[in-house]
């Protein structure tokens, strides 16, 4: 009865089962996978959501790409990041996931493919499959830092490739795409009519000073059709408010054609609520205090992780330039899944690298959002495990 867009096997994996059982037993654990900012102990201004009650929201005047004032507010927020985008080139969406779905409808027919980085954001599997798009991986290589393996990217291109996805900075590797990499990518994509979709939801969050301003940004490109994605979810820590956006860049004619078509797709759903559009400018302005708290939390947790891991020779924190996650390379005494289950039994939850499609084992991914004290406690439990292993060996 059901479509094959949804995986046939919905059974929970071992880790989900173990978590459920632990919760059912009422046993606490430190969650180093927490990526919900509203559960991470930040102080949200109590009246932050007051603008959602604006009385003008009682009137419905649908506009497919969003109200111009809200699009201007997003353009002003790009300006804050040093990126100039005309508001006419901005479309509002309900979330970044919504943006992906709209773009797959805009660019791809059923069975067309998009290239996705590996390792990266696990939701791409579902987002593409739900829109009948096929994913093909290209690799990110790690040396002293992560970079695109262009040979693997060119190998992955087929006559049905419609877009290359980049996550900038990437989740979980924390790598920004450099300007040189973006130039090279544009030179590959433009002549083949392949668009670039750049997920910039973490663009505000640097772990290395200056990393964000050194990064390549697609929205100002004039040579290749490109879409930069952002949203309140990460930029001001409000995933529940549901406002995302995309900024369209590229040759003028292509941009105009894309926006005209996007308008039709957006008009079909009209997914963005009027109250959130009316509130956009204030949410972006007042949410800055949340962004600052998140920004200092991730830096302090990342430093604490580096300092703690420096005392455990078998573990290495990979260089991360930005975003909310850190990657720890650990010895492969056992499969990642067993390791993560063992750590959970010790009271700390981490993500295994395979969850993000790391091509080999063993890596643990930790969120940098948890409050400093529990983050430090969780990290010391993880590292203690490898210290113990080393002394047993
Ligand atoms: C790379 C990336 N893009 C998008 C999202 C989700 O954004 P939204 O809540 O706007 O759909 C996430 C959430 O973790 C993410 O890691």
Does the beta carbon of 239 sit less than 6 angstroms from any atom of ligand 1? yes
Q: Kindly state the percentage of the chain with pLDDT values over 70.
A: 100
What tokens were used for 155?
């190998």
What torsion, rounded to 10 degrees, do the Cα atoms 160, 132, 184, 74 define?
140
Sequence-distant contacts of 292-297: CB under 8 A, at least 24 apart: 293/42, 293/43, 294/37, 294/42, 294/205, 294/237, 294/324, 294/369, 295/204, 295/205, 295/206, 297/40, 297/42, 297/368, 297/369, 297/371, 297/372
Question: What pLDDT sits at residue 391?
Answer: 78
pLDDT tens sequence across 331-342: 999 999 999 999
Pocket flag, ligand 1, residue 121 (CB < 6 Å): yes
**What are the pLDDT digits (tens) for 214-270?**
999 999 899 999 999 999 999 999 999 999 999 999 999 999 999 999 999 999 999
User: How far is the C-alpha of 234 from the C-alpha of 348, rounded, in Å?
Assistant: 24
Sorting pLDDT into bands at 50, 70 and 90, what band is 384?
Answer: very high
Task: Collapse the DSSP code of 379 into the 3-class scheme (helix H, G, I; strand E, B; otherwise coil) and give the result.
Answer: helix
What pLDDT digit, counting tens, does each position of 38-96 carry?
Answer: 999 999 999 999 999 999 999 999 999 999 999 999 999 999 999 999 999 999 999 99
CB of 233 closer than 6 angstroms to any ligand 1 atom:
yes
Question: In the structure encoding, which two tokens stand for residue 99, read together?
Answer: 């943006």
CA of 27 to the centre of ligand 1 (A): 29
Residue 380's Cβ-side half-sphere holds a number of Cα atoms within 13 Å equal to 6
Whether residue 393 has pLDDT greater than 80 = no
Dihedral angle sign, alpha carbons of residues 334, 338, 342, 344: positive
CA of 310 to the centre of ligand 1 (A): 31
CA torsion 134-139-177-155 (nearest 10°) is -70
Kindly state if the Cβ of 244 falls inside 6 Å of ligand 1: yes
The model scores a pTM over 0.95: yes
């Amino acid at each position: 009865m059901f479509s094959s867009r949804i995986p046939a096997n919905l059974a929970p994996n071992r880790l989900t089962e173990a978590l459920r059982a632990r919760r059912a037993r009422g046993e606490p654990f430190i969650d180093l996978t927490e990526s919900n900012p509203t559960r991470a102990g930040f102080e949200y201004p109590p009246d932050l959501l007051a603008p959602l009650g604006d009385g003008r929201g009682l009137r419905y005047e649908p506009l497919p790409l969003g109200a111009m004032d809200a699009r201007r507010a997003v353009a002003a927020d790009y300006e804050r990041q040093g990126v100039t985008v005309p508001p006419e080139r901005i479309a509002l969406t309900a979330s970044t996931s919504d943006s992906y779905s709209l773009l797959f409808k805009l660019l791809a027919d059923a069975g067309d493919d998009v290239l996705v980085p590996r390792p990266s954001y696990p939701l791409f599997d579902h987002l593409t499959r739900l829109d009948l798009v096929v994913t093909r991986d290209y690799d990110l290589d790690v040396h002293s830092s992560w970079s695109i393996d262009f040979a693997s990217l060119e190998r992955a291109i087929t006559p049905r490739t419609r877009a290359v996805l980049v996550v900038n900075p990437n989740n979980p590797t924390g790598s920004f795409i450099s300007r040189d990499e973006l130039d090279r990518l544009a030179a590959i994509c433009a002549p083949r009519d392949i668009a670039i979709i750049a997920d910039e939801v973490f663009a505000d969050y640097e772990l290395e000073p200056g990393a964000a301003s050194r990064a390549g940004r697609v929205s100002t490109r004039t040579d290749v059709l490109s879409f930069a994605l952002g949203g309140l979810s990460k930029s001001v820590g409000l995933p529940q408010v549901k406002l995302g956006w995309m900024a369209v860049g590229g040759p003028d004619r292509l941009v105009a054609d894309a926006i005209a078509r996007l308008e039709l797709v957006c008009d079909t759903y009209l997914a963005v609520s009027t109250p959130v559009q009316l509130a956009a400018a204030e949410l972006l302005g007042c949410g800055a205090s949340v962004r600052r708290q998140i920004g200092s939390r991730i830096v302090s947790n990342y430093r604490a992780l580096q300092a703690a891991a420096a005392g455990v020779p078998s573990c290495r924190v990979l260089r991360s330039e930005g975003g909310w996650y850190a990657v720890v390379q650990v010895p492969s005494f056992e499969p990642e899944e067993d390791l993560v289950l063992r750590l959970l039994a010790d009271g700390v939850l981490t993500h295994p690298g395979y969850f993000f499609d790391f091509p080999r084992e063993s890596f643990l991914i930790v969120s940098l959002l948890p409050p400093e004290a529990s983050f430090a406690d969780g990290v010391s439990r993880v590292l203690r495990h490898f210290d113990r292993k080393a002394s047993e060996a």
